[in-house]
Structure 1
Amino acid sequence: MAASIRSQIARGELKAGDRFPPEDELMEVFGIARTTLREALRILEAEGLVTVLRGRRGGPRVTTPTVEHMTRMFALLLQIEGVALTDVHDALAVVEPPLAGRLAASHTPKALAELTAAIDAAAAAAGVEDDGTAFGEAAAAVHHTLLRNAGNTSLSILGQLLHEVIAQYYRRSGQHATAAERRRAIRSYRKFLGLVTAGDSAAAEEHWNLLMHYPDRRNKQRVDLYS
């Protein structure tokens, strides 16, 4: 049953939000016992493909795996393999700059508007007097906006997974950018926005490559999100 439903979701025959029939009907369709049915649903729920709602209007529904959900499994694998954070930074530095160049070469008005809004939000967060959490989340959104709009879905998903591993590490560790680092990041984002607006692909890629070479990239701490 789990394999069949997984395939239907992958083919688009079942879409996010679709409700499953009652248990008795599912048992009859698949010719399985109630315990087997519930175990299959638990497997699909763990994979982020199904959510089981409680209450009168509850029951299993189709969901789409999120980057956050996939990151948990990805980060667990990295931690088991003993991967250092610098390794994740290096991988992201390979993925992001070419996508920055692609974004500059072929951005849409919608992509430019989203990037502008993300940078404006980061600039506003940079002035918030907190422990740096607000700016960290806003800065991550700038990177995610770039990745989503660069025109390569495979690299976008890979980049978002890598970036989310790094972001979750800093959330857990409590390490955040200083006021000076925030101001420097905003200046860099603004310059990048200008290059994208001008359609200067080579300069945008080079600039983002420099942005990715920040001092903390050499962090030798191991990925550790499950201790």
Structure 2
Amino acid sequence: MDLNAFRLPRSAGKIGADDIYGVLIEAMATGVLREGDRFPAESQLAAHFRVAPMTLRQALGRLRDEEYIVTTRGRTGGTSVAMGIADRMEQEALGLEVSVEELRDLTDWRCGVSGAASFLAALRGTPAEREELRRLEEEFLRVIDSTTERRLADSLLHIHIAKMSGSRRLTTAEREIQDQLTRFIRVTSYPGMDLSHDDMSHRALVQAIVSGDAEAARRALEHHVEITYYWGTQQSHIVRGGDAR
């Protein structure tokens, strides 16, 4: 488990158990933590979050009580993410009600953050990072027919682009965006939409980043985001109230 993948809470005061709980929930929602993933030792986690062991135990205790994680005893025991967590989060997301105005606001935020990240990724990405981006695009297409796996693959691809930008702040913001997307617009189906179509895949975006065309990368990202917004507004069982703009 790469502890650097966890966003440290931005808190004006002392980091508390609720902050750590939120970070770990976000990691599960965005696919950074997947079912069966084992946690490192509590002492290592506490040191990473710069909190007392008791504070960490309170956060883990809440996750355990809510059945997001499980702990086993014995020589091979430890704490790991509960099985079926992705399906559970999907069902929880389906119960949320989100207004069109909220989705529009999230889309505008995404255009600003993800657009800048895509622009910089095209300029700063290393050959190894570009190769990984191609692999993530292939993975997205491989799982495109699976609602849960598709959402996780999409999230990991966009977070990787943010990492390619070289900006920790953009990466942190992208993780927050992907968490919101996972909770707000994960849906079972998109009526009348071909998910393999260029509008919903990442072909143009990946091609622009790999070729180093920063402006084209930003435009491709913004187009992709607006298409996602449009289809999100069609989900009447999730998006309620207001009119699409």
Q: TM-score, normalised by structure 1?
A: 0.59
3-state SS, counterpart of residue 89 of structure 1: helix
> 5 Å matches for 1:1-227?
17-20=40-43, 41-43=57-59, 46=62, 53-57=71-75, 84-126=102-144, 128=145, 132-171=147-186, 173-176=187-190, 179-185=193-199, 189-214=202-227, 215-216=230-231, 221=239
- Aligned counterparts of 2:195 and 2:224: Cα–Cα separation in 1: 12
Amino acid paired to 1:174: T
Q: Hey, which of these two has a bigger chunk of helix by percent? A: 1
Cα shift at 1:139: 2.6
Cα shift at 1:107: 0.6
List runs of 5+ in structure 1 lacking aligned partners. 10-15, 21-29, 31-36, 62-67, 69-74, 223-227
CA RMSD of aligned residues (A): 4.5
Measured at CA, do residues 93 and 210 of structure 1 come closer, stay the same or move farther in structure 2, by a change above 3 Å? same
Structure number with greater Rg is 1
List runs of 5+ in structure 2 lacking aligned partners. 1-13, 21-38, 44-51, 80-85, 87-92, 241-245
3-state SS, counterpart of residue 222 of structure 2: helix
Cα shift at 1:89: 2.1
Q: State the aligned residue count.
A: 180
Measured at CA, do residues 177 and 167 of structure 1 come closer, stay the same or move farther in structure 2, by a change above 3 Å? farther
Q: TM-score, normalised by structure 2?
A: 0.55
1:12-61 deviation per Cα after TM superposition (whole angstroms, max 9, x unaligned)? xxxx83455xxxxxxxxx9xxxxxx968732575599xx99442359999
Cα shift at 1:123: 2.0
Amino acid paired to 2:103: L
Percent sequence identity is 16
